[in-house]
């Protein structure tokens, strides 16, 4: 994780209409009020997904990533982490 953060990847946003976004991404977790244009967040060539949250401009802004604890129960993995800026 810290390698990706340290590589200072650009975070790019683009918009796709809901029909096109549904063909490319899982939009089932977005609220119905998301509208007809869906924002796609791209993290370099590493990841892309629909999102309505706030984002940094590059991974380098995040700081060091440290896993504090993990728990796996009932097919749910929980990861607690801390960011050090």
Q: Is pLDDT at 22 greater than 90 in this prediction? A: yes
Task: Say how far apart CA 13 and CA 43 lie, in whole Å.
Answer: 9
Q: Is pLDDT at 23 greater than 90 in this prediction? A: yes
Half-sphere exposure of 47 (CA within 13 A, CB side): 12
Computed over every residue of the chain, the mean pLDDT equals 93
Q: Predicted confidence band at 85 (pLDDT cuts at 50, 70, 90)?
A: low
What pTM was computed for the model?
A: 0.75
| Chain centroid offset of residue 31 CA | 16
Q: Is pLDDT at 10 greater than 70 in this prediction? A: yes
Domains and CATH numbers, the chain: 2-84 (3.30.980.10)
Q: Give the pLDDT of residue 2.
A: 93
For residues 43-71, give the mean pLDDT: 94
């Amino acid at each position: 994780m810290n390698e990706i953060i340290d590589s200072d990847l650009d975070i790019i946003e683009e918009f796709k209409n809901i029909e096109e976004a549904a063909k490319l991404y899982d939009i089932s977790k977005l609220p119905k009020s998301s509208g007809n244009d869906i924002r796609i967040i791209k993290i370099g060539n590493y990841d892309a997904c629909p999102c309505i949250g706030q984002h940094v401009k590059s991974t380098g802004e995040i700081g060091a990533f440290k896993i504090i604890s993990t728990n796996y129960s009932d097919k749910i993995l929980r990861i607690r982490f801390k960011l050090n800026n």
